[in-house]
Amino acid sequence: MGCQKPAWLDALYTQKFFVGCAVHETAKKNEKNVLCLDCCLSICPHCLTMHRFHRLIQIRRYVYHDVIRLEDLEKLIDCSNVQAYTINSAKVIFIKKRPQNRQFKGSGNYCTSCDRSLQEPYIHCSLGCKVDFVLKYNRDLTPYLRVCKTLQLGPDFLYPQDALGDDDMMTNETPHSTIVDSDELMSCSSGSSGCTENMSMVCSDVVRKKRSGLYVCGRIANKGSVSEEDMATSMNRRKRIPHRSPLC
**Global pTM value:** 0.63
- The dihedral formed by the CA atoms of 198, 202, 203 and 205, expressed in degrees to the nearest 10: 150
Q: What's the pLDDT at 42? A: 96
Q: What is the pLDDT of residue 156?
A: 79
Q: For residue range 124-166, what is the model confidence (pLDDT) as tens digits?
A: 999 999 999 999 998 889 999 999 999 988 887 877 766 555 4
User: Which pLDDT band holds residue 220 (cuts at 50, 70, 90)?
Assistant: very low
Predicted confidence (pLDDT) per residue in 89-108, tens digit: 899 999 998 877 665 566 77
Do residues 34 and 48 make contact, with C-beta atoms less than 8 angstroms apart? yes
Residues 6 or more apart whose CB falls under 8 angstroms from that of 53 comprise none
Cβ atoms of 48 and 72 closer than 8 Å: no
For the chain, give the mean pLDDT.
75
* 3-class SS of residue 26: coil
Q: Are 42 and 15 in contact (CB under 8 A)?
A: yes
Task: Give the number of other Cβ atoms within 10 Å of residue 165's Cβ.
Answer: 11
Burial per residue of 104-127, b for 16 or more beta-carbon CB atoms within 10 angstroms, e otherwise: eeeeebbbbbbebebeeebbbbbb
CA-angle at 113, arms to 11 and 134, nearest 5°: 65
